[in-house]
Homo-oligomer: A and B are copies of this chain.
Amino acid sequence: MPEVRVEEVRRFMVESLVAVGAPETEAKRHADLLVHADSAGHFSHGLNRLELYINDIKNGATNPTARPVILQESGATAWVDGCNALGATVGHFCMDVAVRKARECGVGWVAAKRCNHFGMAGYWALQAEKVGMIGMAFTNSAPIMVPTRSKQSATGTNPISLAAPAGNGDSLVLDMATTAAAMGKIEVLIHKGEPVPPGWALGPDGKLATDPQVAFDTSRLLPLGGFEETSGYKGFGLSTMVEVLCSGLSGSNATHNVPPWTHNQTESPNMGQCFIAVDPERFAPGFTTRVADCLHHYRNLEPVNPALPVLAPGDKEKQSAAATQHRGTIIYPQRQIDVYARVAKAIGIEPMKIHSA
C-alpha cells in the first residue's frame, strides 16, 4: 500500500481545511488530531474522516472561524457553547478550561453543546495527561448502537476515554467506543475489502452482518458485550452514561436526535461533549508510581500465546505511533489515496505526494 510522509499528510490536511475557510491555527490543530489517530493506527479517525470535515465546512454545518464561549461557570464546572466550531477548536478550548479549573480546585468538569465531531476521544484525555493530570473525554454521536432487545439504533458509539500519567513518559490510555467496534473500523474494512468479525454489527434482517458495506448501511452496531446473554446491556448502559454526561449536562441534542454524519450535511449536529481534568496531587502522594506499577504488572502477565504479549490500555497505539515515527510515513489503502486526489482537485490544492508505492 502507498506510503505518505507524516509531514506531507499534515501539509495536505492543513491546506485542505484552510482551502475551505479554516484559519491556519485551527486547521493545524485539527490536522494534529487527525494525524495523531493515523499515527496511532486508528485509521478510522484520521485521514479517513478529513473529507467529512471538509464537506461540513463547505456545507455550512461547521463554522471554522467560530470560537466557543463559556455560558456559565462555577468553581469546578463550566457549561460551554461550542458555537459549532471545528472539533479541535472546541476540544482545546474545553480541555484548557478543565485543566485551569483542576489547578484551582482539584477537578475541572466541562460540558459543551453545539459541538461537531472531535476525532479520537483519547486525544483530548491526553491533553490533560500531558500536564500531569487525569484527563477524561466523552462525546455523543449519531444513533448507531442497537440497545439490547431493540430493533432500531438509538444510542451512539459514545466513546469513553481516560488518560493517566505514569511518569517517564509512560501513561495508561483508555479510548474506546461503547459499541463492540467503532463504525470507523467498519469503514476501514470496506476500504480494505475485509469481512466484519462476528459480534460487531447487525444486518437489516436483525442477524449478524459480515459484509462491511451491509453493516455500514444498516447502521446497527452491537453494544460492547454483544447480545443480552453476554451482557450487551452493559455496553448499552455505558453509552447512556456518556449520554448523561454529554447531552444531559450540556443541553445538546441527545444521540437519538443527532443526524447521521454524511457528506452533504447542511445542519449542525449539535452534539454534546464532556471534558474532565483531575489533579492527582490533591490525593495520595505517588500517583504516577502506582499507575506505573499497574502498567508493569499487566505487561508482565504470562500470556496464553507467547507470541501475543499482554498489553496495557494504550500500548497498541503507542507501538503504532513509535513505528510511524520510525518509518516517518503513514500507510494508506490505495482507495483512500484516490479519494483524496479527487478531493484535492475539487478544492484546488496539491494532492498528497506518495513517498513509496
Contact = CB atoms under 8 A, between A and B. Distances in A.
Nearest to A77: B106
A273 to B, nearest CB: 12
A169 interface: no
B149 A248 contact: no
Size class of A's contact patch? 35 or more
Given A151-B301, A151-B302, A180-B231, A243 B294 contact: yes
Given A304-B149, A311-B233, A284 B113 contact: yes
A145 to B, nearest CB: 11
Interface stretch (A19-27, A43-51, A86-94, A250-258): A250-258
A303 to B, nearest CB: 5
A79 B284 contact: yes
A225 interface: yes
Interface string A262-293: 00000000000000001110111111001101
A199 B301 contact: no
Interface string A67-106: 0000111111101000000000000000000000000111
B236 A149 contact: no
B151 A303 contact: yes
Given A172-B244, A254-B297, A302-B151, A111 B238 contact: no
Given A176-B234, A311-B149, A251 B297 contact: no
Nearest to A74: B106
Contacts of A235: 224-225
Contacts of A308: 149
A284 B77 contact: no
A313 B311 CA distance: 31
Contact of A154 (B230, B240, B297): B297
Given A106-B76, A294-B240, A150 B225 contact: no
A237 B237 CA distance: 16
A301 B152 CA distance: 7
B282 A225 contact: no
A211 to B, nearest CB: 18
A162 B249 CA distance: 14
A21 B178 CA distance: 44
A250 B283 contact: yes
A344 interface: no
A160 interface: yes
A309 interface: yes
Contact of A77 (B72, B282, B310): B282
A195 interface: no
Contacts of A147: 298, 301, 310
A199 B230 contact: yes
